[in-house]
Amino acid sequence: MGNNTIKTDICVIGGGSAGLSIAAGAVQMGADTVLVEAGKMGGDCLNYGCVPSKALLTAGKVARTWKKSSQFGVTYTKPEVDFHKVHDHVKAVIADIEPHDSVERFESLGVTVIQAPGAFVDGKTLKAGDVTIQARRFVIATGSRAMIPPIEGIGDVPFLTNESVFDLTDLPKKIIIVGGGPIGCELGQAFRNLGSEVSIVEMATIMPKDDPELVSVIRNRLEDDGISFLEQTKVLAARKSSEGVSLRVEVNGKEREIAGTHLLLAAGRVPNLEKLNLEAAGIRYERQGINVDKGLRTSNRKVYAAGDVTGGYQFTHMAAYDAGIIIRNALFRLPAKVSYNAVPWVTYTDPELAHVGLSEADAKKQKIEHKILNWSFADNDRARAERRTEGKIKVITTLKGKILGASIVGLQAGELILPWGLALSKGLKIGDMANVIAPYPTLSEVSKRVAGSYYTESLFSDRVKKVVRFLVKFG
């Protein structure tokens, strides 16, 4: 492009979920827009996260189907897994979505795309490659990457992260996963279903942000699948071994060795900040991310930040939500502010675990007088027909029935959580959900049934029975 300076309305740094949403929205609303991306368009979600992990999970589910088929009167032999073709399937899914996030598409929209790393020169100027960009507003959306935990010897052993694991063309014989959060559990189940031996090492308990009662359903299923869990376990050191890699860990005060052919690190994320030269732009940040206000504006009033780089909820749907807030603030000068009272999340193991709003622990911590409603998938006819009765829904309400939160573990929990997010965002009461007509037989009936259970005690009380007996005397 040659040495030149571009003056623009808005410059977006990062071509992941947040950055692409902002760039597409801004240019289509009439703003001159520049997008700076040093790596792959689509960012972590498309290339290393949501998309490939769900594609791999689906392959694992298909491979596992034969184990449970006999209960339906259908029997077939154990499938053969060609992992190279599994790899090709994952890459094909990425390729199917890639055009939507491509340089060509965004240039066709009118966005100027610069494929180079960007760094601030001062508070209103960015340098990207040989291009200098001066913008009325900047948006930092550089995302995050896998954290490499400070394990002794980790630099001397081969390891995988979410950025490299989907490049494997041979199935790991024995994979050790450090980290028992959603990423570790999802990939652990996928590899186990495809035939790997899997050990998950977690310093606390798996999926610590979710309701422990519901997490136990996931743990039981993964253990039934054959996954070995080492919870409350500290990783002391890593070294190469004849098999591949060995970890020295401490469990209950005792040390032991765990050997594997592959090591996958899934122990958290860190924001991509180091190369931005934020100090030159007067942008304050901490280890966990860039400091932003409720409008996602940084300490530099001309610069906003969105998505993982702020250290908040690290979900693609929250990156898209942030994008909407920034467009309203930066382009329309509207006082839009973030609200996180109805943020859903899903762990896509089988069964899935989904959550939105306050949990039981949150309600107790905030000293909110509350009521807990439960309904089991075992009492749902569709779940019975599909022989997937493991799981339950748990809803938290105020004593007067205002919905505070919901958690679901079970088949298609991620699809079932949506109406609860709507209920929270609109401030609905439990009666609104109880009065919905749910089609039969569907899994969605669990939401109606759990809502109806709020009224069980009062509807079938002795007082109501007396009233009914009195009224029936009048014919």
Task: Cite the annotated binding site for NAD(+) by residue number.
Answer: 179-186, 202, 268
Give the DSSP H/E element, type plus range, for residue 86. Answer: helix 83-97
What residues pair up with 422 in beta bridges, in sequence order? none
* Three-state DSSP state, 26: helix
Instruction: Indicate the annotated binding residues for FAD.
Output: 54, 118, 142-144, 308
What DSSP designation does 280 have? G
Which of these, 380, 379, 411, 406, lies nearest to 393 by C-alpha position?
Answer: 406
User: Which residue type occupies 388?
Assistant: R
The rounded distance, in Å, linking the Cα atoms of 237 and 150 is 9
Binding annotation: 54, 118, 142-144, 179-186, 202, 268, 308
Kind and range of the H or E element at 51?
Answer: helix 50-68
Q: Omega of the bond prior to 79 within 30 degrees of 0, cis? A: no
Nearest to 167 by CA among 272, 20, 56, 244: 56
Spacing of C-alpha 460 from chain mean position: 41
List all residues 6 or more positions away from 211 whose beta carbon is below 8 Å from its beta carbon.
355, 359, 360, 361, 394, 407
Reported for 321-326, long-range contacts at CB under 8 A and 24+ positions apart, including other chains, are 322/18, 322/296, 323/18, 323/21, 323/22, 323/25, 324/21, 324/25, 325/295, 325/296, 326/22, 326/139, 326/296
Six-digit token string for 444? 């969605």
Among the listed residues 231, 50, 237, the one whose alpha carbon sits nearest the alpha carbon of residue 149 = 237
